[in-house]
Structure 1
């Protein structure tokens, strides 16, 4: 996808793999070189890379995770390396794209003004996340950017829920995180006059069949949520229109139609597969690389790449991901070499 965009933009840039299990001096020297133009960062280095960067976006600070390094000119012929988290934009922008499908005749902005009304006569506009790991934190923050509050969390482990709350204290100022433990909690918070109006769900758990009681209770609770009644709020919204069908973004996409995906669709939700979030975060990276800016506004600006490039990149990416891996791809994975093998990890600089 990244190389598709580079070619379509008419550049000579190339996206390639630096396979490493740790941050080394060799890698840091490359990041500071003229050859380096920007980078995605995957696990397990999303937190480990942070001390080595010159500057962090507020999103990276809030989530303690960096999945993108943007090379930003400083105006004196030099540059700084700025850490950003486009996983948040991947979730947010995939939801906005689905909302545009529902309201094709209405302008839906991409900038920070794209929010639902916080509270109306129909109740608070709320979001829900299923999970408890890093992607859960990204999703919770993305939903707050859309003006949704409170954020409900369905999770089997009280400790994981507490860890999410502790990691994101800023959410407490916006209505907080509420742990939905069972169907009784769903009735308490989401059913009846004046209760929160749930508009969006993001699923962040692997697509495995539940085995334990706690895992089954997660699925039972989600099923109770999916069956809550929904009437489109009558209070006019000056920015984001209310969804005609509530939105369910299922982050796992292998298989493409997970159990959660199928259940949500059966209950009439507008379901978005995780490939869309992956593509949207890639667009955000491309926009930042092209402009040399690591801001959320640049990452959300669809005019930078343009609709033709985005549509062709989406089409080709989805086609490739849904096809079986080629023998060449399988061989490349088998022969992948850790460039950090036998090397010492770089010591984080004192700041």
Structure 2
């Protein structure tokens, strides 16, 4: 692999753990490639020139640019299209010897692969394919369907819903205090069956009893702040109602084994054990912290950049990066983030020193939308 420059675009990003992780991977692979931060709140011509330069091997994009970058790309993956979000740019070779910029949403793979990894620990004798998808068929009519749960709203909720759907989970239940945000998610993903749980009564109506869906996996996407209002407290009350619904592992064989303990992925990791993390653990769910999802999405980026292919299959193929690299990078990242997550004051100080390169500059305007 030729040495290239890779970038993370967004703002604020000074606190990001991505440079340490990716630069460790590049060094492990024996290249002189580097991963650099480019702080900007706007898509600018300078930013686009950097991405298109032959010396750039690819890029990552974070807020507030995950949707704004899409019109400037040559193509986007089905995953980016369905979630209207791109966090990874892959430079894909073309037949005429050039490259095209293809957008992908590896947040989806971070969530899905973190859940699959946890499921593997529950079933060590079983072979669970990394690219398993649509693997949970409906259970018996008596037991109901296998469902997923998202606590939150916005872009992360869309990525989470798609990740859970790709595992064959449906419907996707959503807990959020803001009805309008939930409606926006539903309208953006009309192909997905969503059900909004507003309170414990909804939980009883939709999830308790015969022929009702069973939530196998849940993902928390809300910041860990102590609830102050009734609406905020109701989010935790409703989540607890879901988490306490009785569960007995089904016996019917599937492509994916059913979890012995249901899985809860908590996306925030500052602090590492958030309020929702503790609630889920107290109710007997196997909790996966958000560091694991962050690491898995970064591995998916590495695989796509190495192969020049922006597909789910490539992003999920751990043989591309190898077990030794992943074990080393995972330990480095977990050690770093476990320390940083306990020092919010340090993170705040870093963000205050960060300079937004896009501040005061006009956003770039695409000459044409190629999608």
How far off is 1:341 after superposition? 3.7
Residue 308 of structure 2 is aligned to residue 292 of structure 1? yes
Aligned to 1:225: 242
**SS of residue matched to 1:304:** helix
1:216 paired residue number: 233
Shift of 1:5: 0.7
Equivalences for 1:142-221 in 2 at 5 Å? 142-171=163-192, 176-221=193-238
Figure out how many residues of one structure are paired with residues of the other and give that number: 346
Match of 1:62 in 2: 82
Alignment of 1:109 with 2:126, yes or no, is: no
Of residues 21, 28, 34, the one that matches 1:8 is 28
- Classify 1:342/1:112 alpha carbon distance in 2 versus 1 (closer, same or farther; 3 Å): same
1:118 shift after superposition? 2.9
Give the deviation of 1:57 after TM superposition: 0.6
Counterpart for residue 98 of structure 1:
118
Query: CA–CA distance in 2 between the matches of 1:263 and 1:306?
Result: 35
1:140 aligns with 2:161: yes
Contact 1:108/1:114 (<8 A) preserved: no
Q: Within 5 Å, which residues of 2 pair with 1:5-84? A: 5-84=25-104
Cα distance change on mapping 1:170 and 1:114 into 2, 3 Å: closer
SS of 2:38's partner is: coil
> Which stretch of structure 1 is more off in the superposition, 321-330 or 31-40?
321-330
Deviations 1:71-126 (A, max 9, x none): 11113221000000000000000000000010011100111446222333422000
Using the alignment, how far apart are the partners of 1:69 and 1:62 within structure 2?
A: 16
Shift of 1:142: 0.5
Over 3 Å counting, the alpha-carbon distance change for 1:330 and 1:132 in structure 2 is closer
Could you list the per-position Cα deviations for residues 220-239 of structure 1 after superposition, in whole angstroms to 9, with x for gaps in the alignment?
Answer: 111111111000012222x1
1:271-302 deviations in Å (ceiling 9; x for gaps):
00001000000000000000000001100001
Per mean C-alpha deviation after superposition, the further-off stretch among 270-279 and 190-199 is 190-199
**Counterpart in the other structure of 1:244:** 260
The CA RMSD measured in Å over matched residues stands at 1.8
Unaligned runs of 5+ in 2: 1-20
Counterpart residue number, 2:365: 347
Q: Displacement of 1:209 after TM fit? A: 1.0
- SS state at 1:123 partner: coil
Give the conservation status (yes or no) of the 8 Å contact 2:133–2:166: no
Other-structure match for 1:280: 296
Q: Structure 1: give runs of 5+ residues left out of the alignment.
A: none
The Cα shift of 1:205 comes to: 0.7
Pair 1:328–1:164, CA change in 2 (3 A): closer
Aligned counterparts of 1:185 and 1:193: Cα–Cα separation in 2: 15
TM-score normalized by the length of structure 2: 0.90
Matched residue, 1:123: 144
